[in-house]
Amino acid sequence: MKLPCESTCPQQNQAAAISRYLREPIHRVETKVQRNSLLLKQLEFRRTSSANPIQIRQYCQSFEIEQEKEYLDLLAQDKRSRILASYHFGDYVYGTNTLASLEQVKREKYVLSQSPGGDVYFDNLRKALGELGASRSSELIYSATSASRLSALLRKGNCTLVLFCDLPQGFGGISNATTNVKFLNRVARFPMGPALLALSNRVPLMPVINFRDCKRNKIRFSRQIEPVLKLDESLQIGVNRITQQLVSFFELFFKRYPEQWRYLQLLPNYFEQKPG
């Protein structure tokens, strides 16, 4: 015989755990979790459902790139390979592709993904962004792509690599190794791969995030991070410093819109020490 609370206790325990990290009442966290679940369903629908060409083109054109001129100036002045360090936040699928489409056609572009995109997904990108959109040939899969493969692509030059720097542990490949950083005033573990790739291959990092504000999709990025170790700084310390920069940029938006993070419901898994 099932107890009345059996179906709800897991959700309540999850909300209670998240609330301790967010320092918010459980009922407010439950609302955020519900909104988060709805967002994930919407993102999956846009990935797997064939879109009307006009509507999906208008949707991508509606993204506001608040620093577009600054970004275009950077592309014109700095021809080095570059890592676009993004986050699973807002509509990161179409937002990140929209930003990457500002790059020149001749520049090689790759996206490091968790799982292969379907035919519908790439067809939607073609409808939305034309030849500037990502294609299957630009897709790299985390579990099947080594750090040496990524390094070879970056060192060729004239390459933009989009990867995500907020993955939880356990995805394999370059994302599996983590380092300690400060997040929500606690010690948390985030992937060290983006910083290590940048420093090892001497390519800059550009933190970029997508978010929804006042019913508008927006794209914002931080100042480009140069792949240079400070005086007497070891590689590990440099990796930790840059990873902290990436996490601190993300934290600014997470605090305002926690329900827009894909991994909100896994938040407790990121921390070394559980709250009392």
pLDDT tens, position by position, 140-165: 998 888 889 999 999 998 899 999 99
Position 92 in a domain: yes
Position 138 in a domain: yes
Q: What is the DSSP letter of 89?
A: B
SS3 65: strand
What confidence tens digit (pLDDT) does each residue in 50-64 have? Answer: 999 999 999 999 999
Position 104 in a domain: yes
Listed in order, strand segments (DSSP E) in the chain are 64-65, 82-86, 108-113, 139-141, 159-164, 178-183, 186-191, 205-213, 216-221
13 vs 38 pLDDT, higher one: 38
4 vs 198 pLDDT, higher one: 198
Distance CA 130, CA 85 (A): 23
Domain that residue 121 falls in: 63-258
CA distance to 138, 154, 166, 174, per residue, from 148 (Å): 17, 10, 21, 10
pLDDT at position 222 is: 94
Position 196 in a domain: yes
pLDDT at position 169 is: 78
CA distance to 64, 194, 208, 228, per residue, from 68 (Å): 8, 23, 12, 26
Confidence of residue 255 (pLDDT cuts 50, 70, 90): very high
Q: Is residue 211 within 8 Å of residue 259, measured between CB atoms? A: no
Position 114 in a domain: yes
- What residue has token string 């949707």? 59
Position 50 in a domain: no
Tell me what the mean pLDDT of segment 198-227 comes to: 94
Mean of the per-residue pLDDT values for the chain?
Answer: 89
Cα angle 170-212-196, degrees, rounded to a multiple of 5: 35
Read off the pTM.
Answer: 0.91
Q: Is residue 271 within 8 Å of residue 186, measured between CB atoms? A: yes
Distance CA 246, CA 86 (A): 9
pLDDT at position 6 is: 37
pLDDT at position 276 is: 52
Q: How many domains does the chain have?
A: 1
Distance CA 85, CA 225 (A): 10
Position 1 in a domain: no
Concatenating the DSSP letter of every residue in 206-225 gives EEEEEEEETTEEEEEEPPPB
pLDDT at position 7 is: 40
